[in-house]
Structure 1
Amino acid sequence: MKKYKPEDLIHNYANDTASEEERIIVESWHIYELKESKYRPSQEHITIVHNRTWEKLSLHMHHRENTLVNKKLWVGVAAAAAILLISSIITYSYLKPASLSSPVLMTQNDVMAAENKATLTLNNGERISLNQSNKDLVAIQGGINIRKSNGLLIYEQQKSTTATIALNKLETPRGGKYQVLLPDGTKVWLNSASILTYPNTFIGKDRIVSLLGEAYFEVAKHKEKVFKVVSGTQTIEVLGTHFNVKSYTDENETQTTLAEGKVKISKGLKHIILKPGQAAFTSENSKSIKIKKTDLEKDLAWKNNEFIFRGDDIMSIMREVARWYNVEVTYEGNFNKDGYMGTISRSKNISEVLKMLQLTGKINYKIEGRRITLMK
């Protein structure tokens, strides 16, 4: 058999350019064969190999044929499981230091993912818990019907009535999420620990809302009415487009990511026009507006119910995790700026997210109620 370099094998496999023989070698690799080489695969490449073996196992496990009588299927499952075991051994050996003990995981205290939870505050101060109310019609306010349906709050103007403007506030807690369809047809996805303030109807030439936290906007097009989002240190102006705003108080910057169309971002006397695939950053400590090419898939992952980490440091990752699962995070040991890689559904319990981080980042953890301790 031809002699292959380990670095070439993993590079080709990760980039989908491997031959059938190369693919078989990578998926059947024994740990001692890899240790004979001085080559150490990157975190990203190991994650790709590990994830693909999971996909192979999942494919077999969800086969439509009867698993109790189909002998070939069980052979396939066993083979996929063996591949996964080998991949896990490789991953474990190179990403987990020998000095760490096994993870202390209290499964009875595992934390579930965020749910559709939010509180609506009306202009008269009345607070309505949307996750506790069983009524579809939440409130009637100034000729506007406010309804809810499967995690979506909907504003509808009553027929033959003139709406009276009133200010509303939609607030998601840590461990909560919600959506709102505004009276102009604009749809907003609200991430955990976020507050959106807006009128129950838009009157005049501007449509103005304010945001604290994170939200994704699909703004309905109205040529005569500019849509404005006031968040953190900036104001965003659009006529109709799709964009994401991240403006948490525990983050250093306010980030606006444009997915479609164009937006104008202003800070003080300065302003810029953002193009799709770009992100703008503003902060209290700077008068400038920074623009960078961005990773749209990663920036919008939360809206698509995913965690995507691509070289992120553990502190920024755990701020996001803490908001989503409503947990407190503490650290034991020296955590540097190492980058962590991985993709996982946000619907998973927190233990699954921590396991992924452990495989790709040399950490250990324990779960005690809603307290997560990371150890190095």
Structure 2
Amino acid sequence: MNESELPDLIEKYIDGTATYDERERLLVWYRSFDHSEIFMADEDKVDESLQLILTKLNATLDFPPRKKSIIQKIHPWYWAAAILLIGFSISLFYIERGNLLTESAKQVHKDSILQIQPGTDKAILTLADGLVIPLDEAGKKVLQNNQDQNFRVESDGVLTMKSNQARTTSSSQRIVENQLSTPRGGQYRIILDDGTTVWLNAGSILTFPNHFVGNTREVSLVGEAYFEVAENKSKPFIVHADKILVRVLGTHFNLRAYPEDKQIRTALVEGSVQLNTINHTLKIKPGELGLFDKSKEDLSSKRIDLQTDIAWKDGYFMFRNESITTIMRQLARWYDVEITYTGDLDNKIFTGRILRKSSINEVLKKLELTGGIHFKIEGRRIIVMP
């Protein structure tokens, strides 16, 4: 790219008018640039510029349009500093420690031939009679022939269920439990009999009845799911997850309850939620995160940026001051890979957003752009190194 084009492209990017192609050209230029050279000329001014731009970019992960007047006064060396941060905003990842860009970003291990692809919409439905149905084209035919429970995979890939209305009105209808499970590298969406929609993340199991009867609507979860609960004031919706019980009427919330995690997280988007354990009860409000500490068996709550917990449903990974181990656990589930670590990685804290549809190679490259962390891929194993 002709460097005389840079000022115009940067200006377009920051004021929000850059096309996809122009953003890609900036990123290609950024990756080919020797970052260390920038710090050789008037380092104090460059550092000041970096901090200024970082503050502006840090204000929001969505990087809203900025006034043209801000950039028109930037010194040529400030353009160089700006392009660094723009490279990071295009990659949607930057590190929150003082060693930002202290060394050139390195490529993910080039000897790796395997391109590990992201997860897809896939799941397995297990009926109460033991029938196991992969939710693919063959599975659709099986569901169409099932007369006891009316399951259907819609054109948009959503599994819907509606119990037989004639049997529903009969007190003799047998209530049975079904399971919807997503493997590592899978996700799925289901609409339950009452109209509640559940997004199931990778490596999760939802257990639910063929029909809700009695005074409550109860399901069980292992893993992570986002719930949009159909309102029914006379029938609370209850989710059993490990040692906690989440009770709602009609609300939107995300529940993360993986067995390997130290905490169970309940992020409330709207409505109200009550968390119950054997010894404690806690109500949380929209915008709050309810935390259950498994070791202490204690409940607590705090205000959070909801997007960090619910972005996965909309196709993103989003992290805010997260350790590399926390990030890699999520990547392991979505890409179905094994993670190992070498060296001291305790101080590697990241904030950022990245598309879940990216290949694992693309994700690791973006993490490496932050400096101070590297990866090696061996088959389906990822080695994380300082």
- Number of the residue aligned with 1:241: 251
Q: Does residue 309 of structure 1 match 2:309?
A: no
| Alignment-derived partner of residue 62 in structure 1 | none
Instruction: Indicate how the Cα distance of structure 1 residues 196 and 335 shifts in structure 2: closer, same or farther if over 3 A, else same.
Output: same
> Could you tell me which residue of structure 1 aligns to residue 280 of structure 2?
270
SS at match of 1:214: strand
Q: CA deviation at 1:331?
A: 1.5
**Paired residue secondary structure (2:179):** strand
Is 1:166 the counterpart of 2:176? The answer is yes
TM-score scaled by length of structure 2? 0.76
Structure 2 residue runs without a partner (length 5+):
1-44
> What's the CA shift for 1:182?
0.5
Cα distance in 2 for residues equivalent to 1:215 and 1:265: 16
Query: Contact conserved, 2:53 with 2:85, CA < 8 A, in 1?
Result: no
Q: By how many angstroms is 1:10 displaced?
A: 2.0
Contact 2:107–2:365 (8 Å) recurs in 1: no
Which residue is 2:126 aligned to? 121
Q: Does 1:220 align with 2:220?
A: no
Check whether the contact 1:110–1:369 (CA below 8 A) recurs between aligned residues: no
Q: 1:223 to 1:51 in 2, by over 3 A?
A: same
**Alignment root-mean-square deviation, CA:** 3.0
- The change in CA–CA distance for 1:226 and 1:9 in structure 2 (over 3 A counts) is closer
Q: How does 1:198-209 map to 2 (within 5 A)?
A: 198-209=208-219
Give how far 1:332 is off. Answer: 2.1
Between stretches 278-287 and 268-277, larger displacement belongs to 278-287
- In the TM superposition, residue 131 of structure 1 has moved relative to its aligned partner by 3.1
CA shift, 1:8, in A, is 6.2
Are residues 1:152 and 2:158 paired? yes
Q: 1:358 to 1:215 in 2, by over 3 A?
A: same
Moved more, 358-367 or 100-109: 100-109
Query: For 1:207-246, what per-residue CA distance to the aligned partner results, in whole angstroms no more than 9, with x for missing partners?
Result: 1101000000000011111110000221011111100100
Partner deviation per Cα, 1:19-54 (whole Å, 9 max, x = no partner): 6354256696479x76xxxxxxxxxx9985325567
CA distance in 2, matches of 1:47, 1:114: 31
The 5-angstrom pairing of residues 53-132 of structure 1 reads 94-95=100-101, 97=103, 102-106=107-111, 108-131=113-136
1:20 aligns with 2:59: no
Aligned pair count reads 326
Other structure's SS at 1:138 match: helix
User: Structure 1: how far apart are the matches of 2:238 and 2:252?
Assistant: 13
Q: In the TM superposition, what whole-angstrom CA distance separates every residue of 1:74-127 from its partner, at most 9, and x where no partner exists?
A: xxxxxxxxxxxxxx9xxxx953536x8653134631111111111111111121
The answer to whether the Cα contact below 8 Å between 1:113 and 1:347 also exists between their aligned partners in 2 is: yes
Distance in 2 of aligned mates of 1:119 and 1:355? 32
SS in 2 for 1:217: strand
Secondary structure class of the residue paired with 2:53: helix
* Distance in structure 2 (CA, Å) of the matches to 1:133 and 1:213: 26
Cα distance in 1 between the residues matched to 2:354 and 2:75: 22
Match of 1:330 among 340, 357, 375: 340
Matched, 1:253 2:273: no
- Could you say which residue in structure 2 is the equivalent of 1:49? 86
Shift in CA distance, 8/146, structure 1 to aligned 2, threshold 3 Å? closer
> 2:381 aligned with 1:375, yes or no?
no
C-alpha distance in 2 between matches for 1:310 and 1:137: 43
Aligned partners of 2:189 and 2:197 also within 8 Å: yes
Q: Aligned AA for 2:87? A: H
Q: Does the 8 A contact of 1:9 with 1:22 survive in 2?
A: no
Q: Equivalent residue of 2:352, what SS? A: strand
Aligned sequence identity (%): 37
Q: What residue is the counterpart of 2:21 in the other structure?
A: none
Q: Which runs of 5+ in 1 are unaligned?
A: 35-44, 56-87
In the superposition, the TM-score normalised over structure 1's length comes to 0.78
1:46 and 1:136 map into 2 onto residues whose CA distance is: 54
Counterpart residue type for residue 336 of structure 2: N
CA contact (8 A) 1:258 1:278 kept: yes
* Aligned CA distance change for structure 1 residues 268 and 28 (closer, same or farther; 3 Å): farther
User: What is the match of residue 357 of structure 1?
Assistant: 367
Q: 1:244, 1:361 → 2: CA distance? A: 32
Distance 1:156 1:284 in 2: 36
What amino acid sits opposite 1:6 in the alignment? S
